[in-house]
Amino acid sequence: MWRNRNVWIVLAGEFIAGLGMWTSIIANLEFMQQHVPSDFMKSLILFTGLLAGIIVGPLAGRVVDSNRKKKVLIISGVGRLISVCFMFLALAFDSVTWMVVFGVALQLSMAFMFPALQALIPQIVAEKDLMTLNGVFMNASTIARILGTALAGALLLVMSLYTLYLCSFIAYALLLVSTCFLKVDEEISTDKQGKSNSKGAFKEMIPVLKTMPVAMMMLGISLLPILFLGSFNLMVINISELQNSVQIKGLLYAAEGICFFIAALFVKRIMGKGSTLKKLFGLSVVIAISQFLLFFADVPIISIVSFGLLGFALGCFFPLVATYFQTGIPKEYHGRFFSLRGMLERLLFQVVLLSSGFFLDTIGLKYMVLIFGALSITIVLYGLFQAKRLSAYKLEASSSVS
């Protein structure tokens, strides 16, 4: 696997993209803190961009399945560059409106980039290497996040927001250049549904999913981490204000990122063999525990432990989910499936984002995490009930056949 040039290009591209993204995220948080006093209004601003990503989801799935993934990645890379230009206008005019335009443009480009990249990865390595590559791929993103947030936080002390966004622009330009060097013999879907209009983009895929109840269940459980991630940045800001500490922001990002890195690097050894679904249920419980711990968010060490626990769980969770979907879903549906998954994630992310902004302004962080933690446990229990019922149904069907 490591002799494959495409592997290194993809990993380098993800690292560079992560640096650019997290540099701009830190800059976005600073810009909003300067211009938007309400947590709920901050969440509304972020909501607008995510909504744009949901709207183009069906079109993105169809485009990815009926075109070369490299071409889609290049075009979406150009879109990222254009989006940063809108943020330069926001800075020039101190305009929140231009920041909203930036968020919309960025999410539109990412709506195409995510399914294209997820569909491309199984085509550059053998199936036996997929989990390893998914783990290393996510670690590249995590290292970029740690470095990006740390560097951006340090640069904020000595440089302007304009310089931070310029760094982000340069990173996206390097990503675009690296993507051009990919050489992959791509499989393109030529089925009629793949070339249909965007409204019918998911029609043929839905019946396929209905015949795969475990995949449907895993799709549902794969959305659970968003209950934490959707409110991640707002919680970091709130914890910083609760503890009256600027440094805690970097410590929380670092704790989550380092633990994620360790887990994703050794996910194959940590998880071993056995039912992927059962492992995901167990990791979901760990995520819920990390939410409950934030009831004591005013204690620095507990908040750091909470984010570290979250990072470890996610470092195992995401490679397992990605590998299952890349191998379990037929390749001709990859673009549409990952686009559908991306739409569901963005939709839930919006709901959590708006809810967390509202809760933080009304009941506060401590009671909000109790609600989210209880909801996570409820989802896990419902999933376990469904899995048990499915197993009983299979056993009954097997007995009737014999």
pLDDT of residue 333: 74
For every residue of 183-201, DSSP letters joined together read: --------STGGGS-GGGT
In angstroms, the CA 333 to CA 330 distance is 6
- In the structure encoding, which two tokens stand for residue 253, read together? 């990002």
What average pLDDT is seen over the chain? 81
pLDDT of residue 186: 66
- Report pLDDT digits (tens) over 209-227: 777 777 778 788 888 888 8
Kindly give the interhelix angle for 57-66 and 334-362, rounded to the nearest 10 degrees: 150
81 within 8 A of 20, measured Cβ to Cβ: no
Question: CA angle, corner 264, sides to 325 and 51, nearest 5?
Answer: 55
In angstroms, the CA 321 to CA 221 distance is 9
Average pLDDT over residues 345-366: 83
Asked if pLDDT for residue 400 goes beyond 70, the answer is no
| pLDDT band per the 50, 70, 90 thresholds, residue 397 | very low
Average pLDDT over residues 164-193: 79
Nearest to 326 by CA among 137, 68, 181: 137
**Residue that wins the pLDDT comparison between 116 and 154:** 116
Asked if pLDDT for residue 203 goes beyond 70, the answer is no
- Which range has the worst mean pLDDT, 107-111, 292-296, 383-387? 383-387
In angstroms, the CA 135 to CA 374 distance is 29
pTM of the model: 0.69
In angstroms and rounded to an integer, the radius of gyration of the C-alpha atoms of the chain is: 21
| pLDDT band per the 50, 70, 90 thresholds, residue 398 | very low
In angstroms, the CA 235 to CA 184 distance is 41
- In the structure encoding, which two tokens stand for residue 303, read together? 């908040």
Amino acid at 244: N
Asked if pLDDT for residue 402 goes beyond 50, the answer is no
In angstroms, the CA 31 to CA 34 distance is 5
- Report pLDDT digits (tens) over 366-386: 999 999 999 999 988 888 887
In angstroms, the CA 173 to CA 330 distance is 33
Nearest to 315 by CA among 372, 382, 269: 269
Asked if pLDDT for residue 85 goes beyond 90, the answer is yes
